[in-house]
């Protein structure tokens, strides 16, 4: 299973781009349809749900998916900014795959819903991309 998700920032399944998909998705879709989608690692372990999609508005790019992990029924969840390129959409299973061990995610730099980081801060953003071995999207 892990080998099918080696290409980060890609779509797995869902037919051929723009040929087999007459309507929206999985190659072009509304960001709000992704909120609540499950995120798993290549081993199939649940890592949480997509809480939000963060846009780099001036550059017209998706910067991060905010992952909600831990807690119970939405209480006490820790949030993580995951570089968009670190995720693979598994269109057939309607979920995202993040190649990170569950224990490593627990130790990742995160935040709570009332104290979001300054996501435009280059130092913070560089550290986040480095943690997930993801090339910064602005390079």
pTM of the predicted protein model? 0.79
Determine the average pLDDT of the residues in 93-115. Answer: 91
Whichever domain contains 125, its CATH number is 2.30.30.240
Assess if residue 137 is contained within a domain. no
* Domain housing 35: 2-131
pLDDT digits (tens, 9 = 90+) for 37-71: 999 999 999 999 999 999 999 888 899 999 998 76
Residues 6+ apart with CB under 8 A from 113: 77, 79
Assess if residue 57 is contained within a domain. yes
Distance (Å, rounded) from C-alpha 87 to C-alpha 7?
9
Tell me what the pLDDT averaged over the chain comes to: 81
Assess if residue 136 is contained within a domain. no
Question: Domain tally for the chain?
Answer: 1
Distance (Å, rounded) from C-alpha 105 to C-alpha 66?
13
Q: Which of 109, 86, 103 is nearest to 39 (CA)?
A: 86
Residues 6+ apart with CB under 8 A from 121: none
Assess if residue 138 is contained within a domain. no
**Phi, psi angles (nearest 5°) of residue 14:** 85, 15
98: pLDDT strictly greater than 80: yes
């Amino acid at each position: 299973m892990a080998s099918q998700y080696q290409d980060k920032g890609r779509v797995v399944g869902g037919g051929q781009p723009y040929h087999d998909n007459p309507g929206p998705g999985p190659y072009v879709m509304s960001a709000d349809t992704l909120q609540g989608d499950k995120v798993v690692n290549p081993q199939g372990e649940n890592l949480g749900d997509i809480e939000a999609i963060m846009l780099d508005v001036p550059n017209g790019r998706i910067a991060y998916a905010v992952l909600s992990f831990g807690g119970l029924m939405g209480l006490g969840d820790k949030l993580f900014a995951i570089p968009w390129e670190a995720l693979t959409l598994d269109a057939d299973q309607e979920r995202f795959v993040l190649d990170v061990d569950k224990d490593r995610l627990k130790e990742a730099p995160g935040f709570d819903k009332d104290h979001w980081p300054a996501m435009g801060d280059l130092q913070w953003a560089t550290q986040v991309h480095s943690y997930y071995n993801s090339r910064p999207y602005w390079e």
